[in-house]
Chains A and B, each alone.
Chain A
Amino acid sequence: MNIHEYQAKELLQSFGVPVPAGGVAFNPTQARQTAEELGGSRWVVKAQIHAGGRGKAGGVKVVDSLDEVKKAAEFLIGRRLVTHQTGPEGSVVHRVWVEQASQIQKEFYLGLVIDRGTQRITVIASSEGGMDIEEVARVTPDQIVREVIDPAIGLRDFQCRKVATAIGLKGKLMPQTVKLMKAIYRCMRDKDALQAEINPLAVVGSGDEARLMVLDAKFVFDDNALYRQKTITEMRDLAEEDPKEVEATGHGLNYIALDGDIGCIVNGAGLAMATLDAISLHGGQPANFLDVGGGASPEKVTHACRIVLEDPNVKCILVNIFAGINRCDWIAKGLIQACNDLSIQVPLVVRLAGTNVEEGRKLLAESGLSFVTAENLDDAADRAAAIVKG
């Protein structure tokens, strides 16, 4: 699960991490008011959408008067912002974050991720702030510093000092770096985050006034841990998510829309991916990825059929079930129920295998409905592709 920048900043602030004074606004008048309350003479108005790349897409405005704050908010709110992460359809801005502009001396990158190689939280830092870390890793890999955290011990001061020294945060800034890094680590651990990315982390003010400040923050939280993260769950913004994917998740299904015309209902993520591959190899185009998961009840299968059919491009549905913890008879019952309840007009190609396969096939055969039965994966993909081609 993702959250907005303003939510990330509020969360970090609650852990004692310095962020610029600011506030969220849902309309231009509110934006102006917020700027007035913050005071100062220069503000930044930032579009709040989950996707990155907002600056380059015109979603961040630096302005010098309260009227300009209002104008910037008018420009941004309601606008469809297209960044390299939103896809061509873009994402509509519903709120802006207004903050005091900072006097930036230098920018850094600081990220904490769960690294698959070490299976631990790993700090990634670079003196090249503001850039995509992927870009830094490609161009100047030696600029990147890594520090692995032992989960039983936590992030130690000396590790933070190593990172600070390596990226050039010295003198008075070093103890600030230690405090900030440890706070971000605690936040990540306590809130079940998979990723916390501070980019840029900035040194603001000059001379004795120099201090660290988080200018942008991105968090990704573990969906599997939301049951124990009430405050994080409350930050969820469903407007940022595909409504069909949200609905599917509500029924315990994993649905991802694609561009083709062959709807897919499969159990297991690996087989679902392989089914898309097989369809493509037979010259067809999958309309979606859908994993019904383990223990699929007839009701779940009915919901799956309905969600797949909501896509008007779907000309045929391929059902590919290899039951382990599932039961083919439950799947068959669900398909029969779906055919009766939804009056499905498109052909259904069904391949059943595994647990209770004979019972499942029998139910389909005796239903009086016209399922196209397939012997195996190759046969199923071939039949579905042939139906769509006409």
Chain B
Amino acid sequence: MSVFVNQHSKVIFQGFTGEHATFHARDAIRIGTQVVGGVTPGKGGTTHLGLPVFDTVAEAVAATGADVSAVFVPPPFNADALMEAIDAGIKVAVTIADGIPVHDMVRLQRYRIGRDTVIIGPNTPGVITPGECKVGIMPSHIYRKGNIGIVSRSGTLNYEATEQLTALGLGVSTSVGIGGDPVNGTDFVTVLRAFAADPETEVVVMIGEIGGPQEVAAARWAKENIDKPLICFVAGVAAPPGRRMGHAGAIVSNEADTAAAKMDAIEKLGHDVARNPAHIGATVLNAMRERGIAIQ
């Protein structure tokens, strides 16, 4: 098991023939992902990386049975590409782009109502189930298979935590980046709910940052709904208030938005908190030892 994607997922790439899509499609195939084709409007009927290229997602789904899409489409056209994926019945669409206009995401979230596609992102490294399926841009070689579920807003901080886990001999069931934008397709709670239901995930790591109430809300939800340990880190203790720290959503607008306030609140709820970003791995290992969870 795992969440969102696994060895049975049939993956297409939207914007398949672009440079980044090509690079990461190759890497995805290398680790065993079932990449079944791609979509680049105007290039239908050709092949790329030995796989069929289609003009529309609907055609790709009809011909290949794809149920997952990696959306590598530039920001101005990205929301449209996501609606196309939803319309074609894709189950999980992962959108990498950083810079999608917020109003486009507001409209997209409205369009999604009543349709059951999970949208991961935007502004995310994507989702990876090590050894089974990679849908995104993460460096797959740093991930080992295991029993820890990771969910983060930041991509590179997700890699950072993963490297620490791997160095300690720990492994990951699935890693999900929800993205750094203020309006995103999937929130922390949705991912935590999926981890709660996944028998292979025994521990959950949540990595947040300054801005917005979502980390504390998710920690509160976890306290009431999950009996698996949750280990948290929130980036930006050293960030000045009122400044947008890179991510569109990362801004301290009030006292509850600060990293320290969030970590205090999460700790108060009874979860383990790593106060130092370099100690995320060690905090997880401790929590697992204390609870007698197998190191795999």
Interface residue ranges, A against B (CB under 8 Å): 85, 114, 116-117, 119-121, 134, 150-152, 189, 192, 194, 222, 224-225, 227-228, 254, 256, 258, 266-281, 286, 289, 291, 293-295, 322-325, 353-355, 376-378, 381
Contact = CB atoms under 8 A, between A and B. Distances in A.
Most buried by A among B180, B182, B254, B278: B278
A273 B209 contact: yes
B250 A224 contact: no
A228 B79 CA distance: 15
A277 B213 contact: no
B244 to A, nearest CB: 8
A222 B239 contact: no
Contacts of B183: 114, 116, 119
- Enumerate the 7 nearest inter-chain pairs by beta-carbon distance, A residue then B residue, closest first: A270-B154, A269-B246, A268-B156, A378-B278, A270-B157, A271-B156, A274-B277
Given A273-B209, A378-B279, 4 more contacts: A151-B103, A152-B110, A273-B154, A377-B160
Nearest to B275: A281
A270 B238 contact: no
B235 A277 contact: yes
B12 interface: no
Nearest to B161: A274
A325 B110 contact: no
Given A270-B247, A278-B277, A324-B138, A258 B240 contact: yes
Interface of B: 20, 24, 75-76, 96, 98-107, 109-111, 125, 136-139, 142, 152-160, 163-164, 167, 180, 182-183, 207, 209-210, 212-214, 233, 235-240, 242-243, 245-250, 254, 259, 275-279
Given A325-B137, A377-B278, A378-B278, A273 B238 contact: yes
Contact of B75 (A114, A152, A224, A323): A224
Contacts of A151: 103, 106-107, 110
Contacts of A256: 240, 243, 245
A277 B277 contact: yes
A224 B251 CA distance: 16
Contacts of B277: 274-275, 277-278, 377
A317 to B, nearest CB: 17
Most buried by A among B107, B153, B245: B245
Given A116-B182, A273-B209, A273-B246, A376 B278 contact: yes
A270 B155 contact: yes
20 contacts: A225-B103, A227-B76, A256-B245, A267-B156, A268-B155, A270-B180, A270-B207, A270-B246, A272-B246, A276-B239, A277-B235, A277-B237, A281-B276, A289-B243, A324-B136, A324-B137, A325-B20, A325-B137, A354-B159, A377-B278
Contacts of B103: 114, 151, 189, 192, 222, 225
B156 A270 contact: yes
B98 A294 contact: yes
A65 B8 CA distance: 79
B238 A276 contact: yes
Contacts of B99: 224
A222 B101 contact: yes
Nearest to A327: B23
B190 to A, nearest CB: 13
B182 A269 contact: no
Given A121-B106, A268-B156, A270-B152, A355 B276 contact: no
B79 to A, nearest CB: 11
A273 B156 contact: no
Contacts of B209: 269-270, 273
Contacts of A270: 152-158, 180, 207, 209, 235, 246-247, 250
A273 B139 contact: no
Contact of A322 (B96, B163, B239): B163
A43 to B, nearest CB: 32
B213 A117 contact: yes
B101 A224 contact: yes
A276 B248 CA distance: 18
B180 to A, nearest CB: 6
B106 A324 contact: no
B246 to A, nearest CB: 3
A305 to B, nearest CB: 18
B238 A324 contact: no
A27 to B, nearest CB: 32
A286 B232 CA distance: 24
Contacts of A225: 101-104
A349 to B, nearest CB: 14
Contacts of B138: 324
B47 to A, nearest CB: 24
B253 to A, nearest CB: 8
A114 B107 contact: no
Contacts of A152: 107, 110-111
Given A116-B214, A377-B278, A324 B156 contact: yes
A353 B236 contact: no
B45 to A, nearest CB: 29
B90 to A, nearest CB: 20
A324 B98 CA distance: 14
Contacts of A322: 139, 156, 159-160, 163
